[in-house]
Amino acid sequence: MRISDLKCAVIGKNPIVRIVTDDGISGYGEVEQYKPYLKPFVMQFREALIGEDPTDVERVMLKIRQRGAFKPYGSAISVIEMALWDIAGKAAGVPVYKLLGGKVRDKVRVYNGALRVPMTRFRPEDYAAEAKRMMELPEGFTIVKQGISFHSPMKREFKDYYYGEPSPSPFHGALDRGLLTERGMAYTLDCVAAMKGVLGDRIGFALDCGPGWMVPDAIRFARAVEKHNLLWLEDMITGDYVPFVNADVYREVTQATSTPIHTGEQIYLRQNFKELIEKKAVRVVGPDPCDVGGIAELKWIAEYADLHGILMAPHGTGNGLLGLAALVQVSATLPHNFIAFELPTGDPAWWFDIVDGLPAPLVRDGMIEVWDRPGMGVEINPERARRYLLPEDSAFFD
C-alpha cells in the first residue's frame, strides 16, 4: 500500500485532511476549528508523503515531524499523523487502540470542554448559574471546567482587574498579563467560591486561568483555593499560543501549593514536555493530540509523565468529531494517570449528520464507551458532506 494523494478541505470551521492510498483506503484527520488558515501548511507535505507506506506511521512521521512548531503550527503535522493511524487501523481491520498497545479501559471519562456557553455577565451569581447549567447537562459530567481571570472576559469586564490595560488585539491571550489588584483577586476568589458552592463535592471542578498570571498572584490564588479541592488550575503562566514552556517558573508555583497546576495544550512534541515532567514542574499535563504531534506522541508523554507521578488530562475542545474519535482511541490506552479529556463537539451541529459511527447518546454519566470499529471508527459520509464543501474543495471526496 502506498500514499497516492494528500487532500485538505475546510469543512464548516475545521480543516479536514484526507490521505488517499492506491489500495482505495482513505484516512481522515481533523484540525481545531479555530485554524481554518492551516490548509496551505498541511498541503506543503503532499510531495513528501506520496509513495510512502502509510502503515509505517513512524517512518512517515520522521520525514515531516521536524517541520512543526508550537501551537498552531504543530497542527499540520498532528492531523497527518492521525490520518495515518486511521489508515493503518483500517488496513489491519482493527481499531487504532489495538495498534497503540491495546486498551486498558472500556470507557473513557470526559469533561465539558466545548459544551460551555459564552457568558454575558460575570458576577459571582452568573458563574454560579453557569456551574448549575453544566452540572445539569444530559451528558452527566463528573468533571467540569470553567474559564476565569485572563482566560475569560473577566479581565476586561471587572474594572481595574489588574495593573495593566486589556489588550485590543484580536488574538486570544495577546498582551493580557500583569499583577492583579487586591480587588481583582478578591473578585476572582468570590466567583470560584460561588461555583464551588453549587457543585459541592459531587462534581470535580477545574479552572482554566490564563495565561497571564504573575508568580506571586499564582501562588496566592492557588493557596487560597486549596480548601476547594480543585482538580487543577490550568495555564496560569503560559498556555494558548505561547511558544515556550517556562518550566522553572511553573515549578516555583507547584512547589508552593497543594492545588494541582496544569499546562501543555500549546506544546509541540515530547521534547518540550521533558523539562516539565522531569523537574515535576506541574502536577497535570494536558497535551492536545491536534497540536502535540498526534496520538502516539500524546501516549508517549502520558507514559513518561506516569513514571514521574504526574497526571494526564488531554486538551481537545475544538478538535471536532474526528478529533473526538482520535481522543477516544488513544485515551483507551493510557496508563492510570489519565483523568479525563476535554470533550470536543460538532460545530456547526450538522457535523453530527455527516459523521457516521458515533454512539447515541455520545456521553453517558460523563463517559464514552470505546468502540471497536477499524481505524478511528468514524467516517465522514461523502454524500451528506458534499453540500458543505467550498467550491475550491469540490474534488475532496473524488
- In residues, how long is the chain? 398
CB 68 within 8 A of CB 77: yes
| 25 and 162 both lie in a single domain | no
Please state, in angstroms and rounded to a whole number, the distance separating the CA atoms of residues 311 and 278: 13
Provide the sign of the torsion angle of the four alpha carbons 248, 252, 253, 258, taken in this order: positive
Q: What angle do CA 351, 355, 359 make, to 5 degrees?
A: 105
| 58 and 185 both lie in a single domain | no
| 118 and 209 both lie in a single domain | yes
Residue 170 has pLDDT above 90, yes or no: no
Query: What pLDDT does residue 312 have?
Result: 98
Per cent of the chain over pLDDT 70 is 99
| 260 and 193 both lie in a single domain | yes
- Establish if 398 belongs to a structural domain: no
Which amino acid is it at 37? Y
Average pLDDT over the chain, rounded to whole? 96
Span 247-297, pLDDT tens digits: 999 999 999 999 999 999 999 999 999 999 999 999 999 999 999 999 999
Mean pLDDT, range 9-37, rounded to an integer: 96
At 165, phi and psi to the nearest 5?
A: -105, 125
Per cent of the chain over pLDDT 90 is 94
Query: What pLDDT does residue 173 have?
Result: 63
* Three-state secondary structure call for residue 127: helix
Q: Which has the closest alpha carbon to 44: 8, 16, 78?
A: 8
Which of 172 and 390 is assigned the larger pLDDT? 390
Q: Which has the closest alpha carbon to 30: 338, 294, 332?
A: 294
Query: What pLDDT does residue 357 have?
Result: 97
Span 340-350, pLDDT tens digits: 999 999 999 99
| 45 and 155 both lie in a single domain | no
Number of other residues whose CB lies within 10 A of the CB of residue 70? 19
| 18 and 152 both lie in a single domain | no
CATH (domain of 353): 3.20.20.120
pLDDT-based confidence at residue 174 (cuts at 50, 70, 90): low
- Measured CA distances, 162 to 4, 51, 156, 261, 333 (Å): 54, 55, 9, 21, 43
| Number of domains observed in the structure of the chain | 2
| 67 and 199 both lie in a single domain | no
What's the per-residue H, E or C state across 18-80?
Answer: EEEECCCCEEEEECCCCCHHHHHHHHCCHHHHCCCCCCCHHHHHHHHHHHCCCCCCCHHHHHH
pLDDT-based confidence at residue 354 (cuts at 50, 70, 90): very high
Can you give the residue range of the structural domain that contains 309?
98-375
Residue 169 has pLDDT above 80, yes or no: no
| 90 and 130 both lie in a single domain | no
Cα of first residue to Cα of last residue in the chain, in angstroms, is 19
| 29 and 128 both lie in a single domain | no
Least confident of 112-121, 142-151, 206-215: 112-121
Residue 167 has pLDDT above 90, yes or no: no
- Establish if 179 belongs to a structural domain: yes
Instruction: Give the pTM.
Output: 0.97
